Structure 1
Amino acid sequence: MSDNQPNQCVKHVPLFKNLNSSELDEIVNIAHHKKMMRGEFIYHLGDSIESLYVIHRGKVKISRMNQDGKEQVIRILKNGDFLGELALFNTLNTPHYAEVIEPSIICMVEQKELKKLMAKSPELSIKMLEEVTNRLDHAEKLIEHNNLYDALTKVVKILLDLEKNLLVKFPTSKTNLASNLGMTPETFSRKLAVLTKKGYIHSIENKLIMIDQKEALKKLLE
């Protein structure tokens, strides 16, 4: 898929995987795209969402302000992810921000046009509802995670969640990860330092960590 055919991105979104080729073509025909640079916002807090946004290429940070007035990262979206689906079921003003954190190509499908297709396609409507349910479940787990666990436990859990063959590659900056875990970047770095000093992990580079004692980390969660 080349950059001069970004409308094709909708065909690679899991949301639309159950649609037939004719239905996919209809969505492609109503999609358009926009190139965005780091630091630009797809929408701000309180904006009215009028489109479904698909990340064709790049990364987008979804965040909000917590009760202390500090940014909390809800999730980092990457290629194939999407946002704005809640507006398809209800008119609302968004409770968070959507900020581009690296050069991106965003595909947009207007809400009113997509609603017309949903009226004709029960499969699309059902898939959208499933995705909304999944995201609500993710939000509930994030709240539970941040309320129940101390800082060290949160860091250990994220390391084990991201680990592949004992390597941990952070998908975004430590600042964003810390915010997602409900802590300051300084606290996040201190907990990594504690685990390093104990010999559980060591840093290879800024966003890459090697786990040296995986079983020992698991025991910290018991």
Structure 2
Amino acid sequence: MAAWPAIYPPLAESDYGIVEGRLKASNVRSDGKEAILSILEPGTWFGEMSAITGWPYAHDVIALETAQIVRLPLEAFHSRMQSAAFAKSIAELLAQHTGLLYQMLEEATLYSTRARIARRLMHLARGDATLAVGNRSKIQVSQDTLAMMLGISRQTLSRT
């Protein structure tokens, strides 16, 4: 269970898009240790895998600040999936998310802690899951959050 209420329920009901604000996608172990998978920003959609498969959501999405979310109900999502253009967009979104997951797995298994920190900061500069074309000069992330994203302690992050 997450520290704050998740913004969407555990069973697939909708696809969601972020209009304003930042959210985090995370999981929490039974001992309370949190793994932050991604910071989601405006322009990011989430929930499409559960909308397609009917499986429960795999992680919590929690607002980090006041956020405005667009909800596409499950019935509307399935109706729009009949359109080749919409289905292609969803396939591209799923491919992008899968690519990010492979990249995270590669970084966790092949790179040093220092390189993982640098690479994650580069992802955050591009908007993490948003993958903006340009880099931003200021990244809003605490040491605790960055450490949770990397699966390391804040002390290890500070030392590195």
TM-score by length of 2: 0.80
Which residue in 1 is equivalent to 2:150? Answer: 181
2:109 aligns to what?
Answer: 147
**Aligned-residue CA RMSD (Å):** 2.5
Residue 23 (structure 2) aligned to one of 45, 57, 60: 60
Counterpart residue type for residue 42 of structure 1: I
Give the corresponding residue for 1:105: 68
Contact 2:6 2:62 (8 Å CA) reproduced: yes
Contact 1:58/1:103, CA 8 A, preserved across alignment: yes
Provide the rounded CA distance (Å) in 1 between the counterparts of 2:28 and 2:145: 13
Matched, 1:89 2:58: no
Q: Percent identity?
A: 26
Mapped contact 2:12–2:51 kept (Cα < 8 A)? no
4+ residue segments displaced more than 4 Å: 66-69, 159-164
Q: Which runs of 5+ in 2 are unaligned?
A: 127-135
Are 2:14 and 1:41 aligned? no
| Aligned match for 1:138, one of 93, 96, 100 | 100
Residue 104 of structure 1: CA displacement? 0.8
State how far apart, in whole Å, the 1-side matches of 2:137 and 2:158 are. Answer: 15
**Structure of higher RCO (CA pairs closer than 8 Å, 6+ residues apart):** 2
SS at match of 1:170: coil
Deviations for 1:161-187, whole angstroms, at most 9, x for unmatched residues?
Answer: 5669xx852232222222112211221
Which of 106, 111, 129 is the matching residue for 2:91? 129
Shift of 1:157: 2.9
Partner residue, 2:39? 76
Q: How many residues align?
A: 149
Instruction: Please state which structure has a larger fraction of its residues in strand.
Output: 1
Q: Which runs of 5+ in 1 are unaligned?
A: 1-38, 192-222
Which residue identity is paired with 1:184? Answer: S
- Secondary structure of 1:99's match? strand
